[in-house]
Structure formats: structure tokens, C-alpha cells
């Protein structure tokens, strides 16, 4: 999705939104954007009445601008979010086999290297960790050990294909794990920007709707156009 042209003029205002000013997304993003654009169409027809009532009519154009910007950041964030979810699924499916591979190789190495205190010390250090990052690092280290000290392994007829598989697993899982753990906590910059743009959009939409309800307080049909269909339903 191309960067909306409106973003350049709104960037500083979006960046300036503080964490305290960020609103909870109570109306889905796509609904809020659609209703904002519909409200802008109606408000443009009523712009003279709003101006007479004291509205800053730039709020009307802001609805269209901010709807486009909010959609853009939503699309960017959803792309990252889905990529993260896919990575979590791959990790969940493939990590158990990698743990088993690690366990098997360490079993063979512990026996093959049992008479070499320095190598046993290395193996004991590898065995200490059991987390995701430990697994990835261990796969690389046990592959390296098998390359540097192959002779003891040869004496027990060790299958070096296991070490090859460990390296392949390392190369794959390190990238998957990076996606799984990337931008944890506050998600990522696109989500923060989406939330800020949504908050600005909501602020402007509420302002236009307030004027609509004020100006058309005696005209129920026109007044309804300045209320949320989503919330009414």
C-alpha cells in the first residue's frame, strides 16, 4: 500500500499525540474510517451552517485525510502482525523436533567426549539453558563442536548427518524466533502510529458530530447523520 500523500502534512501532529491521548479502539478501524468519510460528505453539504455556528471547517477535510492515514497504518501493522502469528505457528510446529535433535546429539557427544574434561565442560554449559534462544544457540554450538572435534565421534559411529540437520535447523529457527520475539510489549511502530492516527481521527469526528447534533437539533433526520450507525446498532 502506497504512503498516503496526506501523511506529510499530518506527520508532526500524529507524532505529537501522547500516550495519555491515545484512545481505546472501541469502534473497529475500518468502521471508524468509513463513517468518518461518510460524515465528511454530509458535513461538506452543511459547511456553511457549521461555519456560521463557529466550527473550524478544516475539521471536515481532516476526516478524509485521517481516515486514509489510519487505514494505511492499520494495513502496515496487520501485515507485521500476521507475519508474527505465522512465525509463532512455525515455531510451535518445528521447535519440538529441534529440541529432540539437540537432545540426541548431546547424548552422543557426552559419551564420545567423556574422557575430555574441557569438552565435557563445554557440553555441560550447553545443557544449562532450555529456552528458545538457548535452543537456537545450542544447535549452532553442537554443530561447531562436531566439526572441530570429529574423531571421538567417529569412534562411536556417530551420524554426522545429525550435525548437518542441526545447522539447517539453526539457520531456519533463528529467523523464525526473531519474528516471534520482534517488537514485543508495545507491538511495533506501525501499531503505535495507527493508534495515534485513530485517536486524532476520533477527535475530529466527534467534533464534527457534536456540531451536527447542535445545528440540526430540530431536524431528527439530519441529526441522525451525525451519529454512529455502528454504535446505534
Answer whether residue 2 is part of any domain: no
Could you tell me which residues come within 8 angstroms of residue 196 by beta carbon, excluding any fewer than 6 positions away? 14, 15, 17, 22
The answer to whether residue 4 sits within a structural domain is no
77 and 101 part of one domain:
no
- Print the domain residue range for 211: 9-15+24-83+190-232
pLDDT at 183: 55
Residue 132 CA: distances (Å) to CA of 25, 43, 88, 97, 138: 33, 54, 12, 13, 10
Q: Which residues of the chain have pLDDT under 50?
A: 185-186
What are 58-73's pLDDT values in tens digits? 999 999 999 999 999 9
17/202 Cα distance (integer angstroms): 13
Domain count of the chain? Answer: 2
Give, in degrees to the nearest 5, the angle at Cα 129 between 184 and 92.
Answer: 50
Predicted confidence at residue 22, as pLDDT, reads 96
Stated pTM of the model: 0.69
Report pLDDT for 79. Answer: 86
111 exposure class (CB count in 10 Å sphere: 0-12, 13-18, 19+): middle
In a domain, residue 3? The reply is no
Question: What confidence score (pLDDT) does residue 186 get?
Answer: 43
Amino acid at each position: 500500500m502506497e504512503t498516503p500523500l496526506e501523511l506529510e502534512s499530518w506527520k508532526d501532529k500524529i507524532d505529537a499525540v501522547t500516550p495519555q491521548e491515545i484512545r481505546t479502539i472501541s469502534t473497529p478501524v475500518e468502521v471508524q474510517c468509513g463513517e468518518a468519510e461518510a460524515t465528511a460528505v454530509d458535513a461538506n453539504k452543511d459547511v456553511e451552517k457549521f461555519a456560521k455556528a463557529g466550527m473550524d471547517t478544516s475539521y471536515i477535510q481532516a476526516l478524509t485525510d485521517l481516515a486514509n492515514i489510519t487505514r494505511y497504518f492499520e494495513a502496515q501493522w496487520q501485515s507485521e502482525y500476521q507475519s508474527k502469528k505465522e512465525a509463532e505457528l512455525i515455531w510451535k510446529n518445528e521447535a519440538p523436533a529441534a529440541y529432540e535433535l539437540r537432545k540426541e546429539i548431546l547424548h552422543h557427544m557426552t559419551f564420545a567426549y567423556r574422557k575430555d574434561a574441557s569438552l565435557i565442560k563445554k557440553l555441560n554449559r550447553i545443557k544449562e539453558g532450555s529456552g528458545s534462544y538457548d535452543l537456537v544457540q545450542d544447535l549452532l554450538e553442537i554443530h561447531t563442536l562436531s566439526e572441530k572435534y570429529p574423531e571421538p565421534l567417529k569412534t562411536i559411529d556417530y551420524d554426522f548427518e545429525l550435525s548437518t540437520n542441526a545447522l539447517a535447523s539453526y539457520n531456519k529457527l533463528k529467523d523464525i524466533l526473531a519474528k516471534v520475539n520482534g517488537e514485543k510489549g508495545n507491538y511495533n511502530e506501525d501499531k503505535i502510529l495507527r493508534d495515534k492516527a485513530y485517536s486524532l481521527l476520533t477527535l475530529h469526528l466527534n467534533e464534527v458530530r457534536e456540531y451536527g447534533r447542535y445545528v440540526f437539533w430540530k431536524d431528527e433526520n439530519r441529526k441522525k447523520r451525525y451519529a454512529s450507525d455502528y454504535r446505534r446498532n
